[in-house]
Structure 1
């Protein structure tokens, strides 16, 4: 297949399903323009990595593009989808025992980490690319679902800012070794990309090193960046509480 071909990827069905479910949900639970914009941005991102040449290059040519696609599916799009859900609708969804249990931090984070690491086991990764009309679809869906789980405690969880900061730091620390490992390996990890046609003058090893660095840097920006936001909120609230307590004692 030509590198810049626009593929017919059945993963795009995820987009109309999400749109239908979203507008059905907000029919009785008002969503602000910002929330609708966040949800819309998620759909644009999904379409950008599933039905454009990004998909073609990802699954036929370059590991770095495939990992960028995975990052969108497992982190960016899920976060934006959840930001698009109004609080009233999230409370309705949390009435489900399954949703409450699945989105608990001690469940959501391990599930997301396991999804990431298992799919990147070389034999499993190669198998998904060898079976692009079945196993690869499962990979993409599980990335998205796991991404929704991992972001739920942050976006809709009623946890203190300190707990959210700790959760994000754990996500950053536990996920970062995967990208660093790929960047530092002295040989190609995946058979599929070892035999894939080259593009943009990237050697097999350079492709893998860029892929690992892309993943590591992206997770540092997203998770460590979010961690600093919630940590600063926590420290600010603690400082305010300390000032209030000191004032009460003077009385």
Structure 2
């Protein structure tokens, strides 16, 4: 029997993992102070993480709607990691191991793709106290690796623009497939309650695919445009010299 879709969720991620990450960041700031903007980025990441792990979004994602679960996934794999990496002061980042760009990108893409395979997706949802926590932890960890070379790497703007384009090109087929496949591919959601918001599994899946595609196009294109513009300015400077 499904839970109340608007019930709040008290789980290990919200009660243990997020406070632990927050404590680690606050302790690091004692030695490596961050400016107000970086502190705001970290606070925003914490708010997003709590929003998708403790509020009714968690219950709806894990028992009712694929579209809400994919929203949770992009927060865990893309938005929150990006904000956390932005929040790290350069002085602190300089003390940490460098993250090679290509392995970081491949780890993120492979992890993202594997967890969206039907058997893995359904297995995680049917084991919310074990596999699902592992899935979420890997989303976040590989997300941090994905954004690290962009924020703290020493690569040229052109290289960073290419990296972001590759990330979008490799990840975008998932959303497109979900939007175009003519039948539900996740048994867990095909068997889920249908009464929530009147969304049938196929419609829910199509909304999920379109939403994921638009979200990735927005976040990766915005970052790509930023670094591509810097690359063009560099080229103009070289020509003027």
Smaller-chain TM-score bracket: over 0.9
What does residue 104 of structure 1 align with?
100
**CA-atom RMSD in angstroms:** 0.7
Partner of 1:93, secondary structure, is coil
Q: 2:178: which partner in 1?
A: 182
Name which of structure 1's ranges 18-27 and 112-121 shifts more when overlaid on structure 2: 18-27
> Is residue 68 of structure 2 the alignment partner of residue 55 of structure 1?
no
Paired residue for 1:249? Answer: none
- The TM-score with structure 2 as length reference comes to 0.97
> What does residue 20 of structure 2 align with?
17
Question: What is the number of residues matched between the two proteins?
Answer: 237
**Residues in 2 aligned to 1:154 and 1:183: alpha-carbon distance in whole angstroms:** 29
CA distance in 2, matches of 1:7, 1:26: 30
Q: Compute the TM-score of the two structures, normalised by the length of structure 1.
A: 0.93
Question: How far is the alpha carbon of 1:106 from its aligned partner?
Answer: 1.1
1:170 to 166, 171, 183: 166
Partners of 1:7 and 1:243 lie apart in 2 by 59
2-structure distance, mates of 1:193, 1:120: 13
Which residue in the other structure is 2:214 paired with?
217
Taking the aligned partners of 1:37 and 1:14, their CA distance within structure 2 comes to 20
Unpaired runs of 5+ residues, structure 2, are none
CA separation in 2, counterparts of 1:194 and 1:9?
A: 25
What is the aligned partner in structure 2 of residue 146 from structure 1? 142
Q: Secondary structure at the match of 2:139?
A: helix
Q: Which has the larger radius of gyration?
A: 1
In 1: Cα distance, 2:77 partner to 2:92 partner: 22
